Amino acid sequence: MTALSREIVALCRSLGACDVGFFDTPHELGHGISIAVRLSDAIVDEIDGAPTFTYFNHYRSVNALIDHILLRTGILLAEHGYRYITVAASQSIPTLGAYRGRFSHKMGAVLSGMGHVGRNCLFIHEKYGPRVRLGTVLTDFDAKVRRESTDRDYFCDKCNICVRACPAQALYGRDFDAENPDEPLMDYRACSEHMKRAYHHIGRGAVCGICMRVCPKGQKSRDETKKL
């Protein structure tokens, strides 16, 4: 690991990231930095058949924190002479297509080796399951750090609990296929329309979180933390 990549990891962690990874990408500046911020188990556990007002606040404050961490990382990169583009924690850019951000944080997180994508179509972190929110900095800095998520305990068990629990019946129950990575695992429109229709009064149609709440991989991280 180079001195700058070490400095980036230390900065992101000091600001609240639970993990930081590096990856190469043919997009934009050639390389990326993926960060994960762990959500509060107590807040996620309160999601019971519907999102809560507290979860909506958490969603917004974690997004703000992620945007801050990404900007601080970018400023550090610029001080060392590198270019950077921060990808907003949560921003759809309709000119890029329906339900698309500038860059898929899940893809960055997978490529950086921090975990994988499960049947709930969420990124499952190798230690915290899906209860993480993500961010990405695109950059021309090549950290030359490569890692692979190997903890199979955190791989999706294909239990389909998320598929059954989704109130919009949006999840196809399909596995992520590295050979065919662009194949959708869910009906984005069904998910989005349900959030707008059913939860507008709670989270302005931006949150649900049931697929994250019910995933046993997230509950496992909580149980393990208690043991420490």
Residues that bind ligand B12 (CB under 6 A): 59, 66, 87, 89-92, 99-101, 103-107, 110-111, 117, 120-123, 130, 132-135, 176, 181-182, 184-186, 188, 191-192, 207-209, 211-212
Q: Give min distance, CB of 79 to ligand B12, in A.
A: 25
Tokens representing 168 are 């919009």
Residue closer to ligand B12, measured from CB, 110 or 137: 110
Q: Taking the mean position of all CA atoms in its chain, how far away is CA 81?
A: 28
Q: Is 64 left (phi over 0), alpha (psi -120 to 50) or beta?
A: alpha
Q: Give min distance, CB of 52 to ligand B12, in A.
A: 11
**Whether the Cβ atoms of residue 84 and residue 171 lie closer than 8 Å to each other:** no
Running DSSP on this structure, what letter comes out for residue 174?
P
Tokens representing 90 are 């949560």
Q: Give min distance, CB of 122 to ligand B12, in A.
A: 4
Residue closer to ligand B12, measured from CB, 140 or 193: 193
Residue closer to ligand B12, measured from CB, 79 or 151: 151
Give the Cα separation of 46 and 26 in Å (integer). 40
Q: Give min distance, CB of 78 to ligand B12, in A.
A: 22
Residue closer to ligand B12, measured from CB, 77 or 214: 214
Please report how many Cα atoms fall inside a 13 Å half-sphere around the Cα of residue 116, on the Cβ side: 19
